[in-house]
Amino acid sequence: MLDFSLYLLCGLVAGLLGGYLGLGGGIVMMPFLTVIAGVNVKAAVPVSITAIVVNSLAASSEYLKKGMVDLELVVILSVFMVLGNITGSLLSEHIPGDYTRLMLTVIVVYAAFSLLKGRRTTERMTFADNRARYLLITTVVAFVTGALSAVVGIGGGVVILPVLYLVIGLPLSTARGTTSLMIGFSAAAATTVYFLNGQIEPVIVSGVILGIIVGAKLGGFLGTMAKPLVIKLMLFSVLLYLAFRLAYEPVRELL
């Protein structure tokens, strides 16, 4: 019963933070499941990816109500994230986890400091021009992010969100809503592969999903009213925390 309560609490916290920031919640879920609840990493990854699907759909509904989702980018980039997620979930058993974590750590740290710097307020952003110029590289980033996310157990929003905001030029609120919906579709693909391979633990998943449904709805609602400066500072803190959790074990083993 105590274990189930921990899974429930994990889902609640992950859903609240993930919905508020426009992320999938995996950045909270993976450290919580492995460190606090003591779940094996191999078992935690499929659970985290499965819960991200629920978190994304629950949180993004709030952004959709307020028109804070760019459906064009969702359709285009979700295809590449789905392909990446399927690739990553199929290869997850053959890729050394330490190397993957270190690579993702570098990406996350770069994204954190880029987001904190932000773009100049005097710069006039032309959304259509930015899409035409950077959409190809963004699709590549989406594919790679999807593959790495399926291996590590996070939604990939920590990488996609800064790209949509800083590169494509979406307003931060729209970037959060777009990311929130996009990672749900991509995580569903990886979840299907894990389910077919029998890698999902029903007891853990049920507890996490119950908590995440409540947390994501509340987080998504609060996120639509959040100030951009607050979101940027919170995202920066969360990204650095994720980078630390990803790199801690591999670096300790190397030393």
Q: What is the pLDDT of residue 215?
A: 83
Sign of the CA dihedral running 17, 21, 23, 24: positive
Q: What is the pLDDT of residue 5?
A: 86
- Rounded to whole angstroms, how far apart are CA atoms 79 and 161? 16
Query: Cα angle at 56 between 50 and 61, to 5 degrees?
Result: 145
| Mean pLDDT, residues 97-114 | 75
In this predicted structure, the answer to whether residue 124 has a pLDDT above a threshold of 70 is: no
Domain range for 197: 2-254
Instruction: With cut-offs at 50, 70 and 90, classify the pLDDT of residue 123.
Output: very low
Answer whether 134's CB lies under 8 Å from 167's CB: yes
Residue with tokens 């593959």: 147
- Rounded to whole angstroms, how far apart are CA atoms 3 and 186? 29
167-188 tens-digit pLDDT: 888 888 888 889 889 988 888 8
Task: Give the number of domains in the chain.
Answer: 1
Burial code (b: 16+ CB inside 10 Å, e: under 16) for 217-235 equals bbbbbebbebeeeebbeeb
- Rounded to whole angstroms, how far apart are CA atoms 146 and 148? 6
Instruction: With cut-offs at 50, 70 and 90, classify the pLDDT of residue 153.
Output: confident
Q: Count of CB atoms within 10 A of residue 90's CB?
A: 14
In this predicted structure, the answer to whether residue 143 has a pLDDT above a threshold of 90 is: yes
- Rounded to whole angstroms, how far apart are CA atoms 153 and 36? 16
- Rounded to whole angstroms, how far apart are CA atoms 243 and 104? 8
Q: What is the pLDDT of residue 115?
A: 66
- Rounded to whole angstroms, how far apart are CA atoms 35 and 121? 41
| Mean pLDDT, residues 96-100 | 72
Query: Is this prediction's pTM over 0.75?
Result: no
